[in-house]
């Protein structure tokens, strides 16, 4: 078997992190979901008779509106977290800073999603 690593990588013992393919597929699947959900979400909102508070409230309180909103924003936040994770892993070299930023990325994304979930469930009930 041919070792394609550079001499420096061989000396440091660096190799594949073993999670790149899974991350790549997750990012592509979430992008595909957004490719379908975002136009559907925008089209559903554009179909409202008036762009007012009451019409938006009525639409989100309906089962299709609540489900479409939650699906779209779930895919959006997941895709955002994956993208920011790549940026942090590629450009932040200090291990402690990287760990803190990766944790903050996950916690902020989860907090945003829980806020949207709470808001939609409050409106829908």
CATH number of 20-124: 1.20.1300.10
Mean pLDDT (the chain) is 89
pLDDT tens-digit map of 76-114 = 999 999 999 999 998 999 999 999 999 999 999 999 999
Domain boundaries, the chain: 20-124
Q: What is the pTM of this model?
A: 0.81
Please choose, from the candidates 85, 69, 86, 80, the residue with its C-alpha nearest in 3D space to the C-alpha of residue 111.
80
**Angle, in degrees to the nearest 10, between helices 95-124 and 53-61:** 100
pLDDT more than 70, % of the chain = 90
The C-alpha atoms of residue 5 and residue 3 are separated, in whole angstroms, by: 6
For the cut 60, the answer to whether the pLDDT of residue 15 exceeds it is: no
Position 85 scores a pLDDT of 93
């Amino acid at each position: 078997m041919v070792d394609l690593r550079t001499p420096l990588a061989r000396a440091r013992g660096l190799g594949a992190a073993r999670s790149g393919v899974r991350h790549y597929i997750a990012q592509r699947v979430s992008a595909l979901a957004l490719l379908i959900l975002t136009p559907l979400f925008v089209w559903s909102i554009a179909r409202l008779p008036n762009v007012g508070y009451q019409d938006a409230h009525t639409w989100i309180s309906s089962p299709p509106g609540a489900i479409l909103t939650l699906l779209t924003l779930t895919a959006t936040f997941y895709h955002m977290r994956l993208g920011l994770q790549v940026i942090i892993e590629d450009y932040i070299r200090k291990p402690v800073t990287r760990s803190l930023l990766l944790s903050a990325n996950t916690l902020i994304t989860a907090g945003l999603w829980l806020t949207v979930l709470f808001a939609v469930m409050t409106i829908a009930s």
